[in-house]
Structure 1
Amino acid sequence: MLLVDDEPALLVALKQLARSLGHDPILARSGGEALELLEGVDAVVTDYAMPGMNGLELLEAIRHRDDSLPVIFLTAQGSERTAVRAMKAGAYDYVTKPFDVDELGAVLERALETRALRRSNRRLAAERNLGRAVIGESEAMKGVLSAIERLAPKDITVLVRGETGTGKELVAALLHAQSRRAAGPLVRFNCAAIPPELAEAELFGHSRGAFTGATQARRGFFAQADGGTLVLDEVGELPPSVQAKLLRALQEGEIQPVGAGRVERVDVRVVASTNRDLAASARAGQFREDLYYRLAVVEVVIPPLRDRPEDIPALAAEFGRRYAERFGMHDVRLSPELISELKRAPWPGNVRELENAVARMIALSGGGEIPASAFTHPRPAEVEGETEAPPSGTLTLREHLDAIERSMIASVLAEVAGNQSKAARNLGLSRSALIDRLKKYGLA
């Protein structure tokens, strides 16, 4: 709770009140000082009349940074016009001085409840936009989700770091979905998937005739993300020549398409992700140090799944629900013994490997409760110098095709109310072939 007033005696009284309510007060004697202390704050109590930046100017600056942060005004008796202006400008509430302790305490409690509700609503809206639940039962992931909620409304560059498969793309999507840019485009650029000689043209665009094969002008990923968020996956793989141009785009908000003599203005928030230690790469001269500091204004580090096994039951249940629905299966459950086995596995491929493993077990099951015997622990990596075995949870091509076929058959059967002859005709199968597949997939 941030308390802002230029009168030391009033600040002491507010501090004592906040502590009596069980809150952690932070004190500021001016609006400028308050703006430097906003990180992690859940409510602001501010006086109106202060030297320099007054309370209304502070409110405007706060709303520009985080419009979900409740601001409570302290106004002198007879200053109703000021209070009305504050409420119209977006203040949560106001209390007249000298304030009644119980009244201010009640307003503070309501403000904090409103803050929590706004965060919850923002998370639910983000989940609806993403079409998936966001799961984080462990303290480590609660910390990550809390950081996302605080950072999303702030239009700053964020670096998301974590091992492959930990969910960096989900964190980037959440940052966009909970930001003021949520209605704008979310554009992804995989820095590791583009040949170095094409990376600049893909990122910044190119004019017609800029190089062999450029038969027409093309907007790059930066221009496509204008007004929204650009996610730079595996940003550590960008070639040095492109790193310099990316730095300019971040610093100046300007890009220059390849072969074009003009500079374009863009309004883009950048979220970068990497599985590397970019700080170490910068120190070793493998990545531009100035670009690293520009990207890592704030770093969000996602812990590996092996360090948060308490997240596995909820993740596995969500994946089970999702793939059972996709494959047209009903009443599919992961047994408690299976969940225990999943919690004991090392998961070198993290959440992505867990998802693949659950999808594989669902696809190969006949429905009902899936036993622990359906799961094979991932094999450890082979000795150094030998090829590492692929994660055992990864679906093979045959398993993917079987899952698709099972889903189609289940869907057609539902459409014809279980009439096998009609289903066989609709699927282009003989009745005997359909019966064989029904037995194979546990649908008989």
Structure 2
Amino acid sequence: MYPAVLIVDDEITIIESLSGILSDDGFEVIHAFNGYEALKKIETESPDIVLLDIWMPGMDGIETLREIKQKFPNIPVVMITGHGSIESAVEATKSGAYDFLEKPLSIDKVMVTINNALNFRKLEEENLYLRKKTIEKNSITGTSPAVQALHREIMAAAPTDAAILITGENGTGKEMVARTIHQFSRRPEEPFIIINCAAIPEETLDSELFGHEKGALGHAASKNMGKFELAAGGTLFLDEIGDMNINTQAKILRALESKTFQRIGSSRVLHMDVRIIASTNKDLTTEIEKGRFRQELYFRLNVIPIHVPPLRERNQDIPMLVDTFLDKLAGQSATPKKTMSKPALDLLVRYAWPGNVRELKNLMERLSIMVQEDLIDVTHLPHPYHSGDTIDAANSPGELFAPDNLEQARTAFEKEYVRHKVAQVDGDITLAAKTLGTSTRYIKKKLT
């Protein structure tokens, strides 16, 4: 299928000459004599590119360009004029024109510009497709009220440059939320850089963040760019910032306040243009009280707080997640997709999921490999999933009677008892706490 070019000009000679040249090169040519006709042709013919004259009676080219960009933003528009000026070129570019050509037209330049514009459009479409796939890959799956509220928070926060603090238990998908925010931000084409504050040794964390000059450290055989520098223009994700040492916290705070930093061993001041997103599985207010986290840094990071709910608080999403994981696993292994029986799904819905979505994903991978049948049933579920979080000492005495002393046994029983009560109220921690006469913090602690 050949590309379609819409030529918009009130001079018939221009339309005829361009039509002949472009037709000979395999283009499908459409023409219009004014802006109003051009807008109608775009609606009915869907051209791949528009060549638009600036000087036309009635609606001029700039007005027509603005209308095209408002209604059909993905169509590249090349402006043509016999009265070219710097002012016209600037105005056309500001209004969204891809390029600017002057009469008398150079045929070679026309062809090069059209091909460049079409290649640019193709690249934009590919980028949009890849971005869409990235968003789909990193989106939190589910239709529960908790997930819908999370999506609303993400969409409200993403277009801003404000710092975001994502809280949630391990395995809930905090990094996925951060990636989604980046994709919907004003910086989606810029870098998304992650630093895991819990995984990097304290003695190398400063270097990882700010970089260092050659010879600045004992092992520094060359210059190293830090994560702040690598993330320039984009997003820096400080994962598990609650595990960052107190001294590095102070340096991060100074960098955020001054929007500048220095590599270790350098006197050069580097300016910072980075959107900061941080995450933690800890209660930072408690960490502040214990002197392990700086209150000023907390206020800097917690401009927009986003909490990722644990799986037990959105257990109605489990059937959808199970189906999604089994579908992906079948695609990866090129085998028929397995399904899960309703009784087995019911047990999974009632389970408390201390490992959250990560635990569910790992279980699905295990079952898809180990279960030979196409249907995964209750009998295929390993402990503790097959018990639905019920306490049944007669059926599994080894679990509750394994401890060697009374205190350990009491702790094990208490944990199982709380899980059982949470499962009975479909994962509603607030209701379980009220029923048991305790706090939600206590319940959460027993579920981890």
Q: Shorter-chain TM-score category?
A: 0.5 to 0.7
Whether the 8 Å CA contact 1:185–1:227 is kept in 2: the answer is yes
Mapped pair 1:155 → 2:157? no
Tell me how far apart the structure 1 counterparts of residues 213 and 231 of structure 2 sit (CA, whole Å): 18
Over 4 Å off, 4+ runs = 123-127, 379-388
Tell me how far apart the structure 1 counterparts of residues 130 and 286 of structure 2 sit (CA, whole Å): 37
Hey, what does 2:134 align to over in structure 1?
129
Quote the offset at 1:337 in angstroms: 2.1
Hey, what does 2:176 align to over in structure 1?
170
Whether the 8 Å CA contact 1:346–1:378 is kept in 2: the answer is no
State the percentage of identical aligned residues: 40
2:343 is paired with a residue whose SS is helix
Q: Deviations over 1:306-346 (max 9, x none)?
A: 11111111111111111111122113212222211210111
Hey, what does 1:192 align to over in structure 2?
198
Hey, what does 1:42 align to over in structure 2?
none
Hey, what does 2:300 align to over in structure 1?
294
Quote the offset at 1:295 in angstroms: 0.4
Whether the 8 Å CA contact 2:327–2:337 is kept in 1: the answer is no
Tell me how far apart the structure 2 counterparts of residues 124 and 194 of structure 1 sit (CA, whole Å): 34
2:212 is paired with a residue whose SS is coil
Hey, what does 1:234 align to over in structure 2?
240
2:225 is paired with a residue whose SS is coil
Tell me how far apart the structure 2 counterparts of residues 144 and 192 of structure 1 sit (CA, whole Å): 25
Q: 291, 294, 316: which is aligned to 1:285?
A: 291
Mapped pair 1:358 → 2:364? yes
Q: Deviations over 1:130-179 (max 9, x none)?
A: 45254121111110111001110011110000011111011111111111
Whether the 8 Å CA contact 1:331–1:367 is kept in 2: the answer is no
2:292 is paired with a residue whose SS is coil
Aligned length: 271
TM-align CA RMSD: 2.7
Matches within 5 A, 1:237-248: 237-248=243-254
Quote the offset at 1:285 in angstroms: 2.0
Whether the 8 Å CA contact 1:127–1:134 is kept in 2: the answer is no
Greater gyration radius: 2
C-alpha change, 1:316 and 1:367, in structure 2 (3 Å) is: same
Tell me how far apart the structure 1 counterparts of residues 221 and 143 of structure 2 sit (CA, whole Å): 52
Matched residue type, 1:216: S
1:308 is paired with a residue whose SS is helix
Matched residue type, 1:330: P
C-alpha change, 1:367 and 1:226, in structure 2 (3 Å) is: farther
Hey, what does 1:114 align to over in structure 2?
none
Q: Any unmatched runs of 5+ in structure 2?
A: 1-90, 97-127, 390-398, 413-448
Tell me how far apart the structure 1 counterparts of residues 169 and 136 of structure 2 sit (CA, whole Å): 24
Q: Deviations over 1:56-100 (max 9, x none)?
A: xxxxxxxxxxxxxxxxxxxxxxxxxxxxx9xx999xxxxxxxxxx
Q: 315, 329, 333: which is aligned to 1:327?
A: 333
Hey, what does 1:25 align to over in structure 2?
none
C-alpha change, 1:209 and 1:245, in structure 2 (3 Å) is: same
2:142 is paired with a residue whose SS is coil
TM-score if structure 1 supplies the norm length?
0.57
Mapped pair 1:260 → 2:260? no
Hey, what does 1:369 align to over in structure 2?
375
Tell me how far apart the structure 2 counterparts of residues 205 and 261 of structure 1 sit (CA, whole Å): 13
Hey, what does 1:311 align to over in structure 2?
317
Matched residue type, 1:148: I
Q: Any unmatched runs of 5+ in structure 1?
A: 1-84, 91-122, 389-444
TM-score if structure 2 supplies the norm length?
0.57
Whether the 8 Å CA contact 1:209–1:216 is kept in 2: the answer is yes
Quote the offset at 1:124 in angstroms: 9.1
Tell me how far apart the structure 2 counterparts of residues 362 and 211 of structure 1 sit (CA, whole Å): 48
2:165 is paired with a residue whose SS is strand
Tell me how far apart the structure 2 counterparts of residues 181 and 161 of structure 1 sit (CA, whole Å): 22
Whether the 8 Å CA contact 1:345–1:377 is kept in 2: the answer is no
Whether the 8 Å CA contact 2:140–2:147 is kept in 1: the answer is no
2:189 is paired with a residue whose SS is coil
Matched residue type, 1:128: K
Hey, what does 1:399 align to over in structure 2?
none
Tell me how far apart the structure 1 counterparts of residues 373 and 180 of structure 2 sit (CA, whole Å): 33
C-alpha change, 1:373 and 1:274, in structure 2 (3 Å) is: same
Matched residue type, 2:163: T
